[in-house]
Chains A and B, each alone.
Chain A
């Protein structure tokens, strides 16, 4: 079983990297990009086979390490 964790800066937290990417896109001639937010995708290979347990376990991993919940939010997908 695999878990895919998406970590993004919370709305309202300024993302200087996303802003730099937006500028770079503009300089390449891509018009109409009003905003860019940059995040992380983390893939985990899990030993168990119960999706519910896995989801709870990965959420705990996010709270304790994978995301800094002061500035980041996360979303867990079990596939």
Chain B
């Protein structure tokens, strides 16, 4: 399995994400700078990390989503590649059109930074297969703009197609239908606001996040 992590100016979870991939999938991810126009050959999965890419200017993730490397990420996903976008990475994926909906300012206005309990809404994905549907892992959240917004039609479609991956147990940001993470139509792209990569070490915020990377390993290393 080959993985890459995209690095934008202002990314700050890129190394945590790389460490999580390294520890749980046994692959050392290639770090790809935003100005690169092409991806390394033979990739199986790309991680789009959290942070404040381009200072959150204009809208969170908006500038990053138009960077040269993002065009390559969109093409990779359209060819059936796996993409995991966390926090700012989720915002980049919605801004690039790979995932539907948008992430707006938290309904309570404040930046929310705390561990939150989630419900695994479906274990039928390459990112959640190591969980059981209904599990309640705890991942940290740290965001100002995590309020997932979608039309009632889109919310119904996401439900019907079993594309909600995670829901908040106690909604911290006003997201519609308590949505914390969603899958693409082919289920190979996951965007989520909570940080599984910050919950892979017992010394640092618990180990519930390991399930996401163990799932990826199960889906892609075995394949």
> Which residues of chain A have a CB within 8 Å of any CB of chain B?
13-14, 16-17, 20, 64-66, 68, 70-71
Q: Which residues of A contact B105 (CB under 8 A)?
A: 16-17
Bound complex: CA of A65 vs CA of B109, how far in Å? 24
Q: In the complex, A17 Cα to B174 Cα: how many Å?
A: 13
B102, A65: Cβ atoms closer than 8 Å: no
SS class, residues of chain B in contact with chain A: loop
Tell yes or no: B58 within 8 A of A by CB: yes
Q: Determine whether the beta carbon of A64 is less than 8 Å from that of B66.
A: yes
Give the total number of A-B pairs whose CB atoms are below 8 A apart.
Answer: 34
Identify the interface centre among B100, B101, B106, B149: most chain A CB within 10 Å of its CB: B149
Could you write out 24 A-B pairs with CB less than 8 Å apart?
Answer: A13-B104, A13-B149, A14-B149, A16-B104, A16-B106, A16-B107, A16-B108, A16-B147, A16-B174, A20-B109, A64-B66, A65-B58, A65-B62, A65-B66, A66-B58, A68-B62, A68-B95, A68-B102, A70-B100, A70-B102, A70-B149, A71-B102, A71-B104, A71-B149
B interface with A by C-beta (< 8 Å): 58-59, 62, 66, 94-95, 100-102, 104-109, 147, 149, 174
Q: Per DSSP, are chain A's interface residues mostly helix, strand or loop, or mixed? A: helix
Instruction: Tell me the smallest distance from the CB of A18 to a CB of chain B, in Å.
Output: 10
Contacting residues, chain B, for A20 (C-beta < 8 A): 109
* Closest A-B pairs by Cβ, 7 of them: A70-B102, A71-B102, A16-B105, A20-B109, A16-B107, A16-B109, A68-B102
Q: Which residues of A contact B109 (CB under 8 A)?
A: 16-17, 20
A residues less than 8 Å from B59 (CB atoms):
68
Query: What residue in chain B is nearest A12 (Cβ atoms)?
Result: B151
Q: Which of A65, A66, A70 contacts B101 (CB 8 A)?
A: A70
Whole-angstrom distance from the CB of B82 to the nearest CB of chain A? 24
